[in-house]
Amino acid sequence: MKQFQGKVAVITGGASGFGKEFAKLGAGLGMKLVLADVQEDALDATVAEFKAQGVPVIGVRVDVSKAEQVQALADAAIATFGQVNLLFNNAGVGAGGLMWENTERDWEWVLGVNLFGVIHGVRIFTPLMLAAAAKDPSFEGHIVNTASMAGLLSPPAMGVYNVSKHAVVSLSESLYQDLSLVSEQVRCSVLCPYFVPTGITQSGRNRPAGLANDAPPTRSQLVSQAMSDKAVSSGKVTAAEVAQLTFDAIRDNGFYIYSHPQQLDPVRQRFEDIIGQRNPSDPFADKPEVRAGLIAALRG
């Protein structure tokens, strides 16, 4: 997609983090915005902020794990602006702990948002883009799915999150191949950020009451939360910088988008382990003190 002026961007998780930065960049390029978020007060404030700047924008409260709500988002976008050119399947939540300690509700919440949110977005919006492309040879469409470096690696005490993001990477790669068979006008990318301060470690604030756990967090879940808080809050690359990298990739038709390309060595090591039929490498091989600290914390 080379031109953004006057085109329509739909952004889930649009009231904070990457989503809000995507919206800022899109607005600066003259795009019309359809912002979706499950946190209504933050969504209302963000929409009001853009309206005050004269940006054509609407906000729709959406729980992306619910197919009917994603369908309502698409209906609102078409009813208001007539088409969708750019879709950011961006809403996401974080959770960790030892895999066997994650409850059914943990899995339902994380996979519902991180994976099924993307599934619903792809299933509902892709046909709209392809139909628009069939009618207009000049139509350009692009889908960006937010995954994670955790979608390319398998760090410990993050299993439920890793699984959701690995699935998003695979889904996105499959979508890329499928689109290449039917259209040159609709493309896709997958965003794999590393530790970037976005607020994702506080995503439990929006966890539905019906998916809350009855028991308090386990030791491993508390340890994982503390580690994630520290890693994310100390991140030096900003959400705004990642948003710029993402728009650059959209413009250049780049598929893989990395916030920290210097962190790809562990990914290379993982694939070398797979090809060489070796057991998975120690992710803390170069930082044994981290592994020792994690073991001590988990074993008490």
Establish whether 256 is a catalytic residue: no
Are 294 and 184 in a shared domain?
A: no
Are 235 and 284 in a shared domain?
A: no
* Catalytic residue selected from 161, 176, 194, 258: 161
Examine residue 3 and state whether it is found in any structural domain, yes or no. Answer: no
Query: What is the per-residue pLDDT for 204?
Result: 87
Are 288 and 235 in a shared domain?
A: no
Examine residue 179 and state whether it is found in any structural domain, yes or no. Answer: yes
Query: What is the per-residue pLDDT for 235?
Result: 81
Examine residue 2 and state whether it is found in any structural domain, yes or no. Answer: no
Expressed as residue numbers, the domain containing 299 is 265-300
123 CA to centre of own chain? 16
Are 90 and 195 in a shared domain?
A: yes
Are 296 and 259 in a shared domain?
A: no
Query: What is the per-residue pLDDT for 202?
Result: 82
Examine residue 197 and state whether it is found in any structural domain, yes or no. Answer: yes
Query: What is the per-residue pLDDT for 256?
Result: 98
Examine residue 1 and state whether it is found in any structural domain, yes or no. Answer: no
Strands, E assignment, the chain: 8-12, 32-37, 57-61, 86-89, 141-146, 186-192, 256-258
Examine residue 98 and state whether it is found in any structural domain, yes or no. Answer: yes
Please give the chain's pLDDT, 300 residues, in tens. Answer: 999 999 999 999 999 999 999 999 999 999 999 999 999 999 999 999 999 999 999 999 999 999 999 999 999 999 999 999 999 999 999 999 999 999 999 999 999 999 999 999 999 999 999 999 999 999 999 999 999 999 999 999 999 999 999 999 999 999 999 999 999 999 999 999 998 988 777 888 899 999 999 999 999 999 999 888 888 877 889 999 999 999 999 999 999 999 999 989 999 999 999 999 999 999 999 889 989 999 999 987
Are 18 and 98 in a shared domain?
A: yes
Pairing of strands 86-89, 141-146: parallel
Are 35 and 155 in a shared domain?
A: yes
CA angle 16, 238, 205 (to 5 degrees): 35
Examine residue 52 and state whether it is found in any structural domain, yes or no. Answer: yes
| CATH of residue 84 | 3.40.50.720
> How many domains are there within the chain?
2
Are 154 and 299 in a shared domain?
A: no
Are 167 and 283 in a shared domain?
A: no
Query: What is the per-residue pLDDT for 155?
Result: 92
Are 236 and 297 in a shared domain?
A: no
Query: What is the per-residue pLDDT for 187?
Result: 98
Are 49 and 178 in a shared domain?
A: yes
Examine residue 13 and state whether it is found in any structural domain, yes or no. Answer: yes
